């Protein structure tokens, strides 16, 4: 089953490959950026951006369902929760 | 361990583990060559068997529905756990949020933000509802819909109406909705058992047209309950955290 | 392209673990845990991908068009929920730790080991 | 009867949801809540016991939503249970019941969520034991984990819990995600999630690298859960701070579930595909023995009673892994009996520690010295359970350990016997030292270790404490557990347990049962079946262990009164500095050790597979 299938809806292979590689590189860089951003509030923003990149990656992997989840959870809900926790713990330090 | 030493120990270990992983990758079919047979088998039978055109939903709520029961209860447990962990401690008291206090030191939410946020609330609720009720057709489902529904409540908070947010989502009601969502899912499974069928059997009529809102039997119903559960769980978690941030003050502070 | 996505998976997981190991702030550490878990989505969707196939939705595509694996997508969805749940719980524990001890540094917290 | 499979998970989940849903109605009706939770746990235990007995003649498979496999392709999720898996789940349910009864009077006030979380925890453990699907295994693993993290942090009034809960949650989550990666890899290779189907697929092919990588990653999370060196650090931190009733579950069954998971994935999926049985057996034997010895040494030096018991659990986890790693039916049967016996005595010990904490407000051995004299019944129970932990016949523990040693000797590993006896002596000696000092005031209080004293002093006010009498509802559970431990030792279970073990180890029979609905009447044992009965060596090693433990306890208690050697050295203290270095309490360190440990095991696996 190794031969690539072709359907009327198939994106040309070269285009798809380029797209996937580009987004994969972006995701890899994004992951590093999330980890290396040590300031919390800034990290939340980077995390949101990383979530969006993941969502795009999943779209290129033909997974619209997971894309939606990655957007709603990874790019919206999780950053909000982390932001709340960060702001709660920051207040004390003042 | 001292941080510098730890970093080197970790890097050595990680290098070894990654090398081991790469060594093993030779046995994995290359990217894009998924060999099956699970996926193709599902794709072959799903639409005819469940009348759901969204095969992922069919897998989530039907073929592997039992996983989803566990998953919903993970979320349920996490919401309950958040509540248990963040209970008010001795020496803590609630005070009015800064923007409601008499000596307010934050500027009021700007009119623009307020208007935009409130304007979006309605469409977001509609979008969430639509997503939760179209699991059987489109890339959507109770999970995404639930999160979007919860977002609507967060928008109300963004509009500067935290007390409204709190009033609209009192913990007891959110708890009840959450329990109804998670419990409802488990109960649908039990209903099948009561009919003498295996747990989670799709015992409802599947409808005539695959993909229509009323098609696919229990899939649509389960997706709806999942939506309830997810929305309520997220609202609970966010409101617990918001309370921590806005209302609770330690001791004299 | 044959193994590149799987190398990215190792990179994401490795970077996330590196973040956990070097972090001096619990919330930062929890965010790194999110990164570690995100590697599993990429892995799952990566192994189920079929070059040239469509997404597994037959709403406006004829039934039996070759599609990518729907099972991994269902698994990834489950995984996303698990991530959100674990993160929320961990963050609330971290908040509690900060309230109690006034710090989020794992080294300082270890002094209060009980 | 088959519906019991689904009900044993669905019922506790449904009750948990119902308890939270009608929370406002139940507030202030603590007893209703307690009764509901106890009733649910007990009925789950009953269901699982029925399953255990009914599967005696062969594994039973339950297909959710009725999706049976066609042509060997599985499209749904199954529960596939035999006596061992159902028995382990039943053990979990029995312990949850005992713990809920104990909590009746133990907690002054308790949130509704506590009961709900206990029930989801139970459902997670049950699902984990019964499932036949590798991803489903992960889901229940996570449900179990999330419930356990929340319950560990349940008492945020105290200083400790937060640290322990965080270490526990983060290390276990990292392990779980590694497991999930392994599941992804094996799925990418086989296109299947059902363990039988995966096993059938990969054993048709020569052993290959990807299978080894997937195996290591999948067991990573289970090794963490199973507290195997060097993945064990979270355990002592979590036990020290978790509410005492919860410790019973952590030590008695949750850790063992991790090891069960390893056995399950090995014998249903990887056993025949990996090949090289001898080498793999040695690898895990080494891990097990290292864990057993390290846990026993750390146990003996500990003064915080709950941490002490936690380290003894690590030591036993190592012995269990060694028993499984022998790969023989008798080894597995011995482990099963050992796990059951250990769960009972360890549960009794923790519950007694809970009573001490309830009445005296401390778990610091030094401070408590001689102060527990008036807790007569508790003292007797604690001492008896301590002897049980030291494998005194007729406690079930001696039988399990004896079988493992028998099969070890028969397969060219006679050195296993002295190692096990040594571990039992150290662990039992530590527990009996506590018993003698706290409840009978024997000897001298052990030297005050400043750090440990501080830790133990923080462990206070879990309950209202200081009651004049120990409530009966707190004494009955440990007494029943100790009695059950004796019952396990006296019941002639040998042939039945060994038959179950043979069945568990027969991968072909498991495949046929799950994939083709076959009934395999006579599973094939991988090794000649040795007789499982009470033999003279079993009794002798058990007696030697118990006597050694008593002697060691006396030595430790009267150390300073001995004429010679009495200056400058306190038994067990030499390890303190070493322990400080490893058991640092810093999550970063724990994750580092985990990665390093996995890399080492991976390297060995790579050498084995070649």
B68-91: pLDDT as tens digits:
999 999 999 999 999 888 875 555
Q: How far apart are CA B153 and CA D186, in angstroms?
A: 41
Q: Do D160 and C79 touch (CB under 8 A)?
A: no
In a domain, A6, yes or no: no
Q: Do D591 and C20 touch (CB under 8 A)?
A: yes
Q: Does C23 or B137 have the greater pLDDT score?
A: C23
Q: Could you say which of D102, D131, D160 is where a domain stops?
A: D131
SS3 content of chain D, % helix, strand, coil (to 5): 75, 0, 25
Q: Within an 8 Å CB–CB cutoff, is residue A33 touching chain C?
A: no
Q: Do C40 and D177 touch (CB under 8 A)?
A: yes
Distances (CA, A) of D310 to B182, D240, D433: 34, 8, 16
In a domain, B47, yes or no: yes
Span D182-195, average pLDDT: 93
Please tell me the distance in Å from A94's CA to the nearest CA on chain C.
11
Show which of residues 183-202 on chain B sit within 8 Å of chain D, judged by CB atoms: 183, 186-187, 189-190, 192-193, 197-202
In a domain, B143, yes or no: yes
pLDDT bucket at D567, cuts 50 / 70 / 90: low
Q: Within an 8 Å CB–CB cutoff, is residue C45 touching chain D?
A: no
Chain B hits for A81, CB-CB cut-off 8 Å, are: 237-238, 241
Q: Does D564 or B53 have the greater pLDDT score?
A: B53
Residue of D nearest to C102 (CA): D159
Residue D97, phi-psi category: left (phi > 0), alpha (psi -120 to 50), beta (remainder): alpha
Q: Within an 8 Å CB–CB cutoff, is residue B8 touching chain D?
A: no
Angle (CA) A20-A26-A29 rounded to 5° is 140
Furthest C-alpha separation in chain D? 77
pLDDT of residue D456: 52
DSSP-derived 3-state class of residue A19? helix
pLDDT of residue C74: 93
Q: Does A82 or B111 have the greater pLDDT score?
A: A82
Q: How far apart are CA D547 and CA D553, in angstroms?
A: 10
Distances (CA, A) of A37 to A43, A54, C31, D38: 5, 18, 10, 48
Q: Taking each helix axis from N to C terminus, what angle separates D134-152 and D255-265, rounded to the nearest 10 degrees?
A: 170
Structure tokens at D481: 């557990």
Q: How far is CA C35 from the centre of its chain?
A: 5
Please tell me the distance in Å from C114's CA to the nearest CA on chain B.
17
Residue D378 contacts residue D372 (beta carbons within 8 Å)? yes
Give the residue ranges of chain A where pLDDT is below 50.
Answer: 1-2, 92-94
In a domain, D146, yes or no: no
Query: C5, C25, C31, C90: which to substitute to probe chain A, counting the most A Cβ within 10 Å?
Result: C31
In a domain, A77, yes or no: yes
Angle (CA) D35-D39-D40 rounded to 5° is 120
Closest CA to D337 of D261, D399, D407: D399
Q: Does D484 or C105 have the greater pLDDT score?
A: D484
Least confident stretch, C26-35, D303-312, D578-587 = D578-587
* Shared-domain flag, residues D15 and D127: yes
State the burial class of residue D66 (Cβ atoms within 10 Å of its Cβ: 0-12, 13-18, 19+). Answer: middle
Residue D330 contacts residue D490 (beta carbons within 8 Å)? no
Chain B hits for C73, CB-CB cut-off 8 Å, are: 56, 59
Least confident stretch, A77-91, B111-125, D188-202, D260-274 = B111-125
Closest CA to A57 of C8, B55, B144: C8
Nearest to C17 among B14, B53, B240 (CB): B14
Q: Do D588 and C36 touch (CB under 8 A)?
A: no
Taking only the tens place, the pLDDT of each residue in D233-260 is 999 888 888 888 999 999 999 999 999 9
pLDDT bucket at B109, cuts 50 / 70 / 90: low
pLDDT bucket at B185, cuts 50 / 70 / 90: confident
Taking only the tens place, the pLDDT of each residue in C56-82 is 888 777 877 888 899 999 999 999 989
Residue of A nearest to C64 (CA): A7
Least confident stretch, A2-11, B227-236, D79-88, D315-324 = A2-11
pLDDT of residue D225: 94
Q: Do A61 and C19 touch (CB under 8 A)?
A: no
Span D209-234, average pLDDT: 93
- Kindly tell me the sign of the dihedral angle through the C-alpha atoms of D577, D583, D589, D594: positive
Query: B19, B31, B68, B70: which to substitute to probe chain D, counting the most D Cβ within 10 Å?
Result: B70
In a domain, A2, yes or no: no
Per DSSP, what are the bridge partners of residue C57? B54
Percent of chain D with pLDDT over 70: 92
Nearest to C69 among B34, B86, B237 (CB): B34
Span D482-486, average pLDDT: 94
Residue B77 contacts residue D150 (beta carbons within 8 Å)? yes
Instruction: Give the number of domains in chain A.
Output: 1
Q: Kindly compute the dihedral angle of the four CA atoms of residues D376, D382, D385, D391, in this order, to the nearest 10 degrees.
A: -110
pLDDT of residue D575: 58
Nearest to A72 among B34, B36, B144 (CB): B144
Residue B31 contacts residue B114 (beta carbons within 8 Å)? no
* Shared-domain flag, residues D207 and D330: no
* Shared-domain flag, residues D66 and D114: yes
Q: Does D260 or D585 have the greater pLDDT score?
A: D260
* Shared-domain flag, residues D403 and D542: yes
Distances (CA, A) of B243 to B72, B105, B231, D187: 24, 18, 18, 43
pLDDT of residue D454: 56
Please tell me the distance in Å from B25's CA to the nearest CA on chain D.
6
Span D323-352, average pLDDT: 94
Q: How far apart are CA D218 and CA D206, in angstroms?
A: 20
pLDDT bucket at D574, cuts 50 / 70 / 90: low
In a domain, B21, yes or no: no
Structure tokens at C71: 């099972």
Least confident stretch, B216-225, D135-144, D510-519 = B216-225
Residue of A nearest to B247 (CA): A88
HEC per residue, C54-68: ECCECCCCCCCCCEC
Whether C25 shows a pLDDT value over 50: the answer reads yes
Please tell me the distance in Å from B193's CA to the nearest CA on chain A.
30
Closest CA to A29 of A7, A8, A57: A57
Chain A hits for C53, CB-CB cut-off 8 Å, are: 5, 7, 10, 62
Residue of D nearest to C69 (CA): D191
A23 is in which domain, residue-wise? 13-93
Q: How far apart are CA D507 and CA D526, in angstroms?
A: 10
Closest CA to B64 of D135, D143, D120, D196: D135
pLDDT of residue C34: 94
Distances (CA, A) of D595 to A28, C91, D318, D589: 21, 24, 20, 10
B220 is in which domain, residue-wise? 36-250
Distances (CA, A) of D152 to B92, B128, D17: 22, 35, 20
Q: How far apart are CA D142 and CA D70, in angstroms?
A: 30
pLDDT of residue D450: 55
Alpha helices, H only, A1-94: 13-36, 40-60, 64-69, 78-93
Residue of B nearest to A82 (CA): B241
Q: Kindly compute the dihedral angle of the four CA atoms of residues D125, D129, D130, D131, in this order, to the nearest 10 degrees.
A: 90
Q: Within an 8 Å CB–CB cutoff, is residue C77 touching chain B?
A: yes
Q: Does D147 or B227 have the greater pLDDT score?
A: D147
Q: How far apart are CA D349 and CA D36, in angstroms?
A: 26
pLDDT of residue B104: 47
Q: For chain A, count helices (H), then strands (E).
A: 4, 0
D250 is in which domain, residue-wise? 151-269+578-610
Closest CA to D14 of D147, D150, D116, D106: D116
Q: Within an 8 Å CB–CB cutoff, is residue C8 touching chain D?
A: no
In a domain, D495, yes or no: no
Show which of residues 154-183 on chain B sit within 8 Å of chain D, judged by CB atoms: 172, 175-176, 178-180, 182-183
Please tell me the distance in Å from D72's CA to the nearest CA on chain C.
17
* Shared-domain flag, residues D265 and D320: no
Chain A hits for B139, CB-CB cut-off 8 Å, are: 64-65, 67-68
Q: Do C55 and A66 touch (CB under 8 A)?
A: no
DSSP-derived 3-state class of residue D371? coil
In a domain, B180, yes or no: yes
In a domain, A18, yes or no: yes
Angle (CA) D339-D505-D528 rounded to 5° is 100
Q: Within an 8 Å CB–CB cutoff, is residue C100 touching chain D?
A: yes
All structural domains of chain C, each given as residue ranges with its CATH number in brackets, are 4-111 (1.10.287.3510)
Q: Do A2 and B33 touch (CB under 8 A)?
A: yes
Please tell me the distance in Å from C52's CA to the nearest CA on chain D.
18
Q: How far apart are CA C38 and CA A66, in angstroms?
A: 12
* Shared-domain flag, residues D286 and D317: yes
Q: Do B238 and A67 touch (CB under 8 A)?
A: no
Angle (CA) D42-D45-D47 rounded to 5° is 110
Nearest to D146 among B45, B81, B183 (CB): B81
Query: D75, D132, D605: which to substitute to probe chain B, counting the most B Cβ within 10 Å?
Result: D75
Q: How far apart are CA B100 and CA B93, in angstroms?
A: 16
Chain C hits for B210, CB-CB cut-off 8 Å, are: 58
DSSP state of D462: S
Instruction: Give the number of domains in chain B.
Output: 1
Chain B hits for D122, CB-CB cut-off 8 Å, are: none
Please tell me the distance in Å from B14's CA to the nearest CA on chain D.
6
Span D349-362, average pLDDT: 90
In a domain, A65, yes or no: yes
Q: Does D119 or D464 have the greater pLDDT score?
A: D119
Nearest to B85 among D65, D77, D153 (CB): D153
DSSP state of D571: T
pLDDT of residue D358: 86
Q: Do B193 and D7 touch (CB under 8 A)?
A: yes
Please tell me the distance in Å from C48's CA to the nearest CA on chain D.
7
In a domain, D513, yes or no: no
Span D288-312, average pLDDT: 91
In a domain, A33, yes or no: yes
Q: Do B56 and C96 touch (CB under 8 A)?
A: no
| Whole-structure pTM value | 0.93
Which residue's entry shows tokens 């700007």?
A: B110
Q: How far apart are CA D320 and CA D303, in angstroms?
A: 25
Closest CA to D605 of D361, D266, D301: D266
Span D147-164, average pLDDT: 77
Span D357-377, average pLDDT: 86
Residue B99 contacts residue B162 (beta carbons within 8 Å)? yes
Per-chain mean pLDDT for chain C: 88
Taking only the tens place, the pLDDT of each residue in D449-467 is 555 555 555 555 455 545 5
Span D383-411, average pLDDT: 92
Which residue's entry shows tokens 């054993």?
A: D203
Span D29-33, average pLDDT: 83
What is the bridge-based pairing of β-strands D60-63 and D78-81? antiparallel
Q: Could you say which of D72, D97, D131 is where a domain stops?
A: D131
* Shared-domain flag, residues D155 and D14: no
Whether B134 shows a pLDDT value over 60: the answer reads yes
In a domain, B6, yes or no: no
How many CA within 13 A on the CB side of residue D240? 33
Instruction: Give the number of domains in chain D.
Output: 3
- Kindly tell me the sign of the dihedral angle through the C-alpha atoms of D564, D568, D570, D575: negative
Q: What is the ipTM of this complex?
A: 0.93
Span D564-575, average pLDDT: 56
Closest CA to B77 of D161, C77, D41, C82: C82
Structure tokens at B30: 């290359």
DSSP-derived 3-state class of residue B77? helix
Q: How far apart are CA D589 and CA B3, in angstroms?
A: 9
Please tell me the distance in Å from B53's CA to the nearest CA on chain C.
5
Chain B hits for A84, CB-CB cut-off 8 Å, are: 238, 241-242, 244-245
In a domain, A44, yes or no: yes
How many CA within 13 A on the CB side of residue A39? 3
DSSP-derived 3-state class of residue A38? coil
């Amino acid at each position: 089953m190794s031969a690539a299938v072709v359907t009327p809806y198939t994106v040309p292979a070269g285009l798809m490959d380029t797209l996937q590689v580009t987004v994969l590189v972006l995701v890899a860089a994004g992951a590093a950026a999330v980890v290396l951003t040590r300031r919390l509030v800034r990290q939340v923003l980077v995390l949101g951006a990383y979530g969006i990149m993941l969502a795009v990656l999943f779209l290129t992997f033909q997974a619209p369902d997971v894309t939606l989840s990655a957007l709603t959870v990874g790019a919206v809900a999780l950053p909000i929760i982390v932001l709340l926790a960060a702001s709660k713990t920051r207040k004390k330090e003042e | 361990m001292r941080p510098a030493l730890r970093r080197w120990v970790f890097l050595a270990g990680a290098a070894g583990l990654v090398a081991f992983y790469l060594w093993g990758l030779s046995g994995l079919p290359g990217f894009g060559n998924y060999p099956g047979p699970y996926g193709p088998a599902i794709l072959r039978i799903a639409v005819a068997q469940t009348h759901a055109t969204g095969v992922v939903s069919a897998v989530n709520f039907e073929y592997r529905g039992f996983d989803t029961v566990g998953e919903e209860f993970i979320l349920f447990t996490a919401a309950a756990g958040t509540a248990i962990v963040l209970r008010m401690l001795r020496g803590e008291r609630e005070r009015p949020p800064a923007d409601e206090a008499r000596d307010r030191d934050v500027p009021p939410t700007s009119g623009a933000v307020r208007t935009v946020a409130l304007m979006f609330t309605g469409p977001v609720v509609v979008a969430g509802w639509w997503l939760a009720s179209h699991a059987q057709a489109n890339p959507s489902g109770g999970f995404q819909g639930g999160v979007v529904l919860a977002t609507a409540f967060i928008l109300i908070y963004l509009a500067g109406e935290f007390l409204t947010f709190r009033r609209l989502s009192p913990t007891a009601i959110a708890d009840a909705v959450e329990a109804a969502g998670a419990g409802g899912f488990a109960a649908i499974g039990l209903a099948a058992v009561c009919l003498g069928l295996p747990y989670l059997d799709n015992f409802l009529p599947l409808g005539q047209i695959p993909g229509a809102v009323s098609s696919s039997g229990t899939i649509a119903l389960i997706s709806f309950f999942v939506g309830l559960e997810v929305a309520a769980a997220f609202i609970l978690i966010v409101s617990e955290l918001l309370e921590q941030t806005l209302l609770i003050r330690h001791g004299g502070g | 392209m044959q193994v590149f996505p799987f190398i990215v998976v190792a990179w994401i997981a490795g970077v996330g673990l590196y973040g956990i190991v070097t972090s001096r702030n619990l919330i930062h550490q929890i965010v790194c845990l999110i990164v570690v878990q995100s590697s599993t989505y990429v892995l799952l969707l990566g192994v189920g991908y079929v070059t040239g196939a469509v997404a597994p939705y037959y709403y406006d595509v004829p039934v039996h068009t070759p599609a990518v694996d729907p099972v991994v997508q269902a698994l990834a969805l489950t995984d996303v929920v698990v991530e959100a749940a674990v993160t929320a719980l961990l963050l609330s524990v971290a908040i509690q730790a900060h309230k109690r001890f006034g710090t989020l540094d794992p080294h300082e917290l270890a002094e209060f080991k009980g | 009867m088959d519906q019991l499979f689904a009900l044993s998970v669905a019922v506790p989940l449904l009750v948990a949801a119902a308890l939270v849903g009608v929370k406002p109605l139940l507030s202030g009706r603590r007893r209703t809540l307690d009764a509901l939770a106890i009733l649910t746990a007990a009925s789950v235990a009953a269901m699982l016991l029925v399953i255990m007995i009914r599967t005696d003649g062969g594994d039973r498979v339950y297909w959710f939503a009725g999706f049976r496999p066609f042509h060997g392709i599985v499209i749904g999720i199954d529960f596939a249970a035999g006596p061992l898996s159902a028995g382990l789940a039943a053990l979990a349910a029995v312990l949850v019941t005992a713990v809920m009864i104990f909590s009746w009077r133990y907690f002054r006030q308790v949130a509704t969520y506590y009961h709900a979380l206990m029930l989801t925890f139970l459902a997670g453990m049950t699902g984990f034991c019964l499932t036949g699907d590798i991803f489903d295994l992960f889901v229940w693993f996570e449900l179990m984990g999330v419930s356990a993290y929340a319950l560990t942090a349940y008492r945020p009034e105290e200083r400790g819990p937060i640290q322990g809960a965080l270490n526990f949650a983060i290390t276990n989550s990292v392990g779980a995600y590694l497991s999930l990666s392994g599941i992804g890899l094996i799925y990418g290779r086989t296109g299947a999630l059902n363990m039988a189907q995966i096993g059938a697929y990969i054993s048709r092919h020569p052993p290959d690298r990807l299978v080894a990588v997937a195996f290591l990653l999948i067991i990573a999370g289970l090794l963490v859960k199973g507290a195997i060196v060097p993945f064990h650090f979270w355990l002592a931190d979590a036990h020290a701070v978790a509410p005492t009733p919860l410790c019973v579950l952590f030590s008695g069954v949750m850790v063992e579930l991790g090891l069960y998971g390893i056995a399950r994935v090995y014998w249903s999926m990887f056993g025949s595909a990996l090949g090289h049985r001898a080498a793999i057996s040695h690898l895990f034997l080494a891990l097990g023995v290292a864990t057993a010895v390290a846990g026993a040494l750390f146990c003996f030096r500990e003064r915080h009673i709950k941490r002490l018991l936690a380290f003894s659990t690590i030591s036993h986890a190592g012995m269990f892994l060694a028993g499984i790693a022998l790969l023989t039916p008798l080894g597995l049967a011995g482990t099963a009996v050992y796990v059951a016996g250990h769960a009972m005595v360890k549960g009794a010990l923790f519950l007694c520690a809970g009573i001490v904490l309830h009445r005296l407000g401390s778990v610091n051995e030094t401070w408590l010295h001689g102060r527990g004299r008036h807790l007569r019944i508790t003292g007797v129970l604690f001492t008896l359970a301590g002897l049980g932990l030291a494998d005194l016949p007729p406690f079930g523990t001696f039988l399990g350990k004896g079988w493992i040693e028998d099969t070890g000797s028969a397969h060219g590993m006679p050195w296993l016997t002295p190692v096990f006896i040594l571990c039992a002596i150290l662990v039992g000696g530590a527990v009996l030292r506590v018993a003698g000092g706290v409840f009978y005031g024997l000897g001298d209080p052990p030297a005050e270790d400043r750090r440990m004293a501080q830790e133990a002093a923080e462990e206070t006010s879990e309950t209202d404490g200081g009651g004049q009498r120990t409530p009966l509802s707190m004494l009955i559970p440990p007494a029943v557990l100790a009695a059950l431990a004796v019952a396990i030792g006296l019941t002639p279970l040998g042939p039945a347990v060994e038959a179950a073990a043979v069945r568990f180890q027969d991968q072909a029979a498991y495949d046929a049962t799950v994939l083709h609905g076959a009934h395999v009447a006579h599973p094939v044992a991988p090794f000649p079946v040795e007789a499982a009965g009470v033999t003279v060596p079993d009794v002798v090693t058990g007696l030697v262990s118990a006597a050694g433990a008593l002697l060691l306890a006396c030595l430790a208690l009267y150390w300073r009164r001995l004429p010679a050697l009495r200056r400058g050295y306190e038994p067990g203290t030499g390890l303190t500095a070493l322990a400080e270095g490893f058991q640092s309490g810093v999550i970063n360190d724990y994750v580092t050790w985990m990665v390093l440990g996995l890399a080492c095991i991976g390297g060995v696996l790579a050498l084995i597979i070649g």
